[in-house]
Structure 1
Amino acid sequence: MKQLNKILLFTVLLGTIYACSTKKDTVISRNYHALTSHFNILFNGEEAFKKGIEGINQGYKDDWFQQLPIEPIVFDDRKIVAPTFKNNSLGAGFGSKKEKTTTTQPAGPFEKAEEKAVKAIQKHGMNINGLERNRKIDDAYLLLGKARYYSQRFVPAVEAFNYVIANYPNANLIAETKIWRAKANIRMDNEEFAIETMKLLLVVTDTLEADLPNDIKEQANTALAMAYVKSDSLQKAKKHLILATRTQENKAQAARNMFVLGQMYANENKKDSAAAVFNKLANFKKAPYKYKIHANIELAKNVVNDSISSSVLSRLEKLIKDRDNRPYLDQLYYQVASLHEKNDSIALAVDYYNRSLRAKNGGDKQKSFTYENLGNLYFKNSEYQFASSYYDSVLNVSTDSLALRIRRVKRKYKNLASLINFENVVATNDSIIRIASLPKNEQESYFKNYIENLKKQDEEAAQLRLNQIAFGANSSSLQTNSKGEWYFYNSQVVSFGKTEFQKIWGKRKLEDNWRWSANASINTRNTDSVNVSKINTRYDLASYLETIPTDKQKIDTLKIDRNQALYELGLIYKEQFKNENLAIRRLERVLSLNPKAELVLPINWHLYQIYNKNGNLEKSNTHKNVILSEYPNTVFAQIIKNPENKIENKEVVNEVEKTYKKLYYLYKKGEFKNVLVNVNDVLPTINNSKLKPKFELLKAYAIGKYLDKETYQRALEFVAINYGSTEEGKKAKEILKQLTKE
């Protein structure tokens, strides 16, 4: 019996050794190597590959404000290089089995998957007489190519895919391998080849040989859509995205394809088609939730009528009530506000925009859109100071300063900067002038009320600060020394509070009216020192009364500055913001305040232009008569008497620029009279040109070179008044200031 057992054991051992050979084409060898490579090496490789895909899905952050890429991964084009391959029989860019290889630890899951695929090929490959006998080696090559694809080594990935296609034409995964090869070619900017191979797969294979499985059709159409997006053939991309979403075998990719398709329709302003796609995605039960919630958000952006708007608004409000949607509250509130704004419910819109800003975990990009919309609302309502504050907030939270939208906001903010400055000058000077005109007792009463309100605000702020410190201590290391939950049981918190109190109020006795500065403690160094009480000027009535100007010259200067600011505001509202109502209010007010003589003419001229344009002949004639009667020899009077017929500008911009350069060259040569004659000939032909202020200023310069100072001043005044918001107008103003000083 023992002898029989030894014989059986020896037979099994010989059979195992025989089966281990990769050079023997037997049933035992083929099945042994197939099972060993699959259940040992390739299993671990596939698990590492799945782990790498999970890492990509978890680490990738979609920018929902931009069109999503069809494949959720970002590759660095700078890392795409063409490696050198060794000449070997295995192909696909790795050494032979006999070649010594270094055993380095894989850097990541995809590197580990590649290592396992190479190991399976090297140890269990059965290439006998040019034919591979191990049916699992094609799986190993596919895994090898996919691992290299995600490691951003596209050239060796294509090598691995090509090896499968060339050597395993009848493999059951040949179609999937062709799809992966197409994707790798797309990443290498070879989308034309990818399109050609995918068309052959979908058309030729599907019609002549056998019907492709639904999952393969989805993958192939998705790859084709990727290729057409890369080549900017968006219509064809949409066609294949539609085909890719018909069967929805891969739920996550199908949802993503639908979302990208909806975005494409939205970018083309096809709101009906976009809304249909997003609505379908929102009702797609098995789609990942992030796509469904953002589909509802996009649906709100693409409403086409009031009935749909009402239903979408109701849907968004239900989503807001769902606690699971708290991470998306900033976006949901924003879309609700946007719908209210479209429905002219401005108060509700502002309320929901503010809710969006207050939402926890709100993104900076969403905040930038919310701040911008609030700024636009206040801008439309002519509340420019509020608008400026919100535009400033956009610039502070935005991380993409080069984006076109942010550059536009920045330009708006800069345009508002001078306006805000002049408005502040008007408000400040008006306040000082008004207080200075009050009797002494009324001034004291005014500042007493002001100081009381200031103390109340400071006291509330100090108490809030103490509460914040106490609250923070309960959730920090300060709580370790606490004997209880009450504030005063924590010695460290009390110490912080005491320090904070003394920063604001100083040292005070425990008595009534402790807030008064007279009750602050007195520091005495010795008996001979003088008692000094530190007076808090913030609450000192005398300090405020001393700041009130009493000198007539100072008060007159304040009035002049205020009047000049009002005039500048009138020009800004008229020329930059096209707000004629505010322009009229500022200009008429400064005209009623007895401004300096040089402002009277331009104020009347601008009011004449505004009223004449609006058809208010009564007020237009009032200002026209002032100009004609009091300033009959000015250019403005001549324009009113002999209005020039508007001649269409037939000169292109380049020709106008050339003309200006020629005239400027004549000016530099000293031919001032010639310049003046030529400018007068050119001006009637360029009424609509942006370069007209340059010609007018050049004309003024030429006048100043050979005519009298008074004529030169009138020419500069014309430029300063008519083109005050341009660089040329500002330059003319500077020169006029210098001339008046001489």
Structure 2
Amino acid sequence: MKKDTFLSRNYHAVTTKYNVLFNGEQAYQKGLEEIQEKHEDNFWKRLQIEPITFDESKITAKVFSPGTGFDNDEEEEKKSLTPFEKAEEKAFKAVETHSMNINGYERNRQIDDAYLLLGKARYYTQRFVPALEAFNYVIINYPNADLNYETKIWRAKTNIRLDNEKRAIETLQLLLEVLDEKEKINKAVKEQAYTAMAMAYEKTDTIQKVIDNLKLATKTSYNKEQSARNMFVLGQIYSELERKDSARMVFKKLADYKKAPDKYRIRANIELAKNTPNDSTSILMLARLKKLIKNSDNRKFLSELYYQAGVIQEGRNNSEAAAEYYKKSLKAKYNNNYQKTFAYERLADMAFEKENYLLAGSYYDSTLQVVSKEFEEEKRIRRIRRKNKGLTRLRAYEETLKKNDSILKLVAMTPDERTTFFEAHIEKLKKEDEEKKQQLLNAQNFGSGFGGGSSMNNRNNKGKWYFYNTQALGFGRAEFQKIWGNRPLEDNWRLSDKSIIADTKETEDEDATKINKKYELSTYVDAIPTDEKEITALVLERNDALYQLGLIYKEQFTNTALAIKKLERLKKLKKDDELELPISYHLYQLYKKEGNTAKANENKNVILQKYPETNFAQIILNPNQKLEENKKEDEVLKKYKEVYYLYKQNKFEEAVNEIDNFSLSMKNSKLIPKFALLKALAIGKYQDKENYKKALQYVAVSYATTEEGKKAEEIIKQLNKT
């Protein structure tokens, strides 16, 4: 039994404070450090006022009761405790072993500290209800304790986490009224209370109250970390509300506050730049960012600094400088994927505006590749994904066009022209390989002579050796970086292209008289297609790519010049009338949009003279009137059902004949694409693969904007894979 004596009280108080509770506080501090390391702030979004990342799926903290954790048999269990669990255990031990509750009054003045530690440890392990119990115990049983006010703040924060914001606000308001009356109370407590109040109002979306409390919390700065964070969040809120002057004032104050942690101070400069108007002041802001970039202490923030400098340059219509900054932002050593998405997006948008769609598509692809799952459904990312979808199709057709043009160009050459062309290509390859070999040889010579000689083992040369001479070492390092750049410490660091090693080894192992296949003329000449069917397929594929590109540039990207270029080229290449009607109509629309009346009339006359009964002709003749419905539409639909029945009965050749015989009477029908696709499918059932593909290509090109045209294109892709 504990006696209420001076000696007993002091023994238990000192033992609690400097033994059990000390160890618990140490474990608690370690846990806080781990939480800070684990938590990652996304400075592109509004920061949390309290920097904690709670994982709802991992609430597995152990539950302790008084007396647990003291037997020798539980040593193994202790070893697996997290820092917060260890802090909780020590707090229990302090209460169990050293509490002096005599006649309902606690004589050990350290026990309230133990309960507060117990509550905080539970708070950080997401066990909010048990934490609330510990805080309430202190407030009820130790009303005059030194930590009573701080405990009330922790209780309010716990209520916020339990979605009891209203109760938290009421408690904090009462506390702040008391603190206002007692001037001797530590102002650091008021700072904590205003911060907690801002947290509570943030949960209720009362934004002006959040602003008011953050302003009061930042009047003092007892907690430098939290105070800087509060100021940063306040500036972000002002920026969201388009109160740019207030935002600049807050961020300027934080940027100039030398005692603030670097992660807030440097980023405050970046936010200051974001909120600076695009006028003469942006020049001063750019100079400020450049100064920060030059400071080697800011290496961790280079990716963000470079990016924002690029934004300013882009705003000043200096696109080349902006692109360089964005690329530097991507190459910065300290970076994160979310930051990269903005740099890639900016580069993509700039390329898109310059009508460099292939480059834009590559950058959009890179943007989507670095997006983490957390942000995949973000509105900005969804917009990029939609935009890139069209660019992906465009790139595919452009690549097809480039590849087929190259092959067909070689096909059209005479044997002598091919020989001359490939001989020049082979000479170029040989020259490049010789340069790579020489580079490798130089690197090896450099490596064998670097720091070589007998000076390593000569004691008389101590202090004269290269690596003992600071000046020589500095010059050597500068020269090395000038020649080789920054190389990682790894095998074969001298090589920018590691494939050289494999090529060199293969070359050394081969017989000297044996000629590498890539240097043989026959390797290339024999690869040129000679089969007429294969060449015809290349031509059809190229023509389809030209037509699709014309439609994409016309409809999706509204680039009239490129659309005209592709369609006019296709018009010259096509020897038959298969696509004359749709090409002429699209060119008519494009030239009319450009105001080129002569060219527009030229294409219009082709449609009116050669295809007067088509929908295209009627649209031209009656642009402001709806086309009259074909009176025979029901008859056409009935015929389609009959032919489809033949198809289902495996009478494929008969179905094709019926469609050919009926085609003259259905020129204006909406069902024409359906008949065309059905005919192609029937051909595929009884004719060879080439005829099947040709029939499908006709549907895909002639009715590209319809469901049938898209379906035909999908089938062609599947056939090409097989």
What TM-score results when the alignment is normalised by the length of structure 2? 0.76
Alpha-carbon deviation of 1:296?
A: 1.8
Pick the aligned partner of 2:662 from 701, 708, 717. Answer: 708
Aligned residue for 1:138, secondary structure, equals helix
Is the CA contact (8 Å cut-off) linking 1:573 and 1:583 kept in structure 2? yes
CA distance in 1: counterparts of 2:505 and 2:345, whole angstroms: 38
Is the CA contact (8 Å cut-off) linking 1:80 and 1:154 kept in structure 2? no
Alpha-carbon deviation of 1:250?
A: 0.8
Give the corresponding residue for 1:111.
85
Pick the aligned partner of 1:412 from 379, 387, 390. Answer: 387
CA distance in 2: counterparts of 1:594 and 1:547, whole angstroms: 26
Is the CA contact (8 Å cut-off) linking 2:348 and 2:364 kept in structure 1? yes
CA distance in 2: counterparts of 1:498 and 1:267, whole angstroms: 53
Aligned residue for 1:248, secondary structure, equals coil
CA distance in 2: counterparts of 1:586 and 1:416, whole angstroms: 16
CA distance in 2: counterparts of 1:417 and 1:123, whole angstroms: 70
CA deviation map 1:236-294 (0-9, x unaligned): 32332222111122110011111222223334444433333222211111111111112
Alpha-carbon deviation of 1:47?
A: 3.2
Is the CA contact (8 Å cut-off) linking 2:302 and 2:329 kept in structure 1? yes
Give the corresponding residue for 2:654.
none
Give the corresponding residue for 1:478.
none
Aligned residue for 1:392, secondary structure, equals helix
Is the CA contact (8 Å cut-off) linking 1:716 and 1:732 kept in structure 2? no
2:496 is the alignment partner of 1:521 = no
How is 1:285-684 mapped onto 2 (pairs within 5 angstroms)? 285-400=258-373, 402-404=376-378, 405-462=380-437, 500-505=502-507, 507=509, 520-521=511-512, 534-549=514-529, 555=535, 557-645=537-625, 672=637
2:139 is the alignment partner of 1:165 = yes
Q: Mark the CA change 1:470 to 1:42 in structure 2 (over 3 Å): closer, same or farther.
A: farther
Q: Which amino acid aligns with 1:196?
A: E
Q: Which amino acid aligns with 2:49?
A: I
Q: Which amino acid aligns with 1:178?
A: K
Is the CA contact (8 Å cut-off) linking 2:179 and 2:190 kept in structure 1? no
Q: Which runs of 5+ in 2 are unaligned?
A: 451-464, 467-490, 628-632, 642-657, 675-699, 718-722
Is the CA contact (8 Å cut-off) linking 1:580 and 1:610 kept in structure 2? yes
CA distance in 2: counterparts of 1:430 and 1:41, whole angstroms: 81
Alpha-carbon deviation of 1:312?
A: 1.6
CA distance in 2: counterparts of 1:235 and 1:725, whole angstroms: 52
CA deviation map 1:548-582 (0-9, x unaligned): 45666655554443222111100011112222221
Is the CA contact (8 Å cut-off) linking 1:182 and 1:223 kept in structure 2? yes
CA distance in 1: counterparts of 2:424 and 2:341, whole angstroms: 39
Q: Mark the CA change 1:176 to 1:541 in structure 2 (over 3 Å): closer, same or farther.
A: same
Q: Mark the CA change 1:732 to 1:359 in structure 2 (over 3 Å): closer, same or farther.
A: closer
Alpha-carbon deviation of 1:318?
A: 0.8
Aligned residue for 2:280, secondary structure, equals helix
Give the corresponding residue for 1:145.
119
CA deviation map 1:677-713 (0-9, x unaligned): xxxxxxxxxxxxxxxxxxxxxxxxxxx9999334557
Give the corresponding residue for 2:695.
none
Give the corresponding residue for 2:225.
252
Q: Aligned residues: percent identity?
A: 50
Number of equivalenced pairs:
627
Alpha-carbon deviation of 1:141?
A: 1.6
Alpha-carbon deviation of 1:537?
A: 3.0
CA distance in 1: counterparts of 2:337 and 2:625, whole angstroms: 53
Is the CA contact (8 Å cut-off) linking 1:161 and 1:178 kept in structure 2? yes
Q: Mark the CA change 1:473 to 1:396 in structure 2 (over 3 Å): closer, same or farther.
A: farther
CA distance in 1: counterparts of 2:256 and 2:21, whole angstroms: 39
CA distance in 1: counterparts of 2:65 and 2:531, whole angstroms: 93
CA distance in 1: counterparts of 2:249 and 2:20, whole angstroms: 47
Give the corresponding residue for 1:130.
104
2:156 is the alignment partner of 1:182 = yes
Is the CA contact (8 Å cut-off) linking 2:238 and 2:246 kept in structure 1? yes
CA distance in 1: counterparts of 2:36 and 2:716, whole angstroms: 66
Q: Mark the CA change 1:280 to 1:734 in structure 2 (over 3 Å): closer, same or farther.
A: closer
Q: Which amino acid aligns with 1:173?
A: L
CA distance in 1: counterparts of 2:196 and 2:338, whole angstroms: 30
Give the corresponding residue for 2:254.
281
Is the CA contact (8 Å cut-off) linking 1:272 and 1:304 kept in structure 2? no
CA distance in 2: counterparts of 1:45 and 1:82, whole angstroms: 16
Q: Mark the CA change 1:553 to 1:82 in structure 2 (over 3 Å): closer, same or farther.
A: closer
Give the corresponding residue for 2:650.
none
CA distance in 2: counterparts of 1:31 and 1:638, whole angstroms: 105
Q: Mark the CA change 1:464 to 1:385 in structure 2 (over 3 Å): closer, same or farther.
A: farther
CA distance in 2: counterparts of 1:173 and 1:294, whole angstroms: 35
Aligned residue for 2:579, secondary structure, equals helix
Give the corresponding residue for 2:481.
none
Q: Which amino acid aligns with 2:431?
A: K
Is the CA contact (8 Å cut-off) linking 1:612 and 1:620 kept in structure 2? yes
CA distance in 2: counterparts of 1:726 and 1:440, whole angstroms: 44
CA distance in 1: counterparts of 2:172 and 2:703, whole angstroms: 62
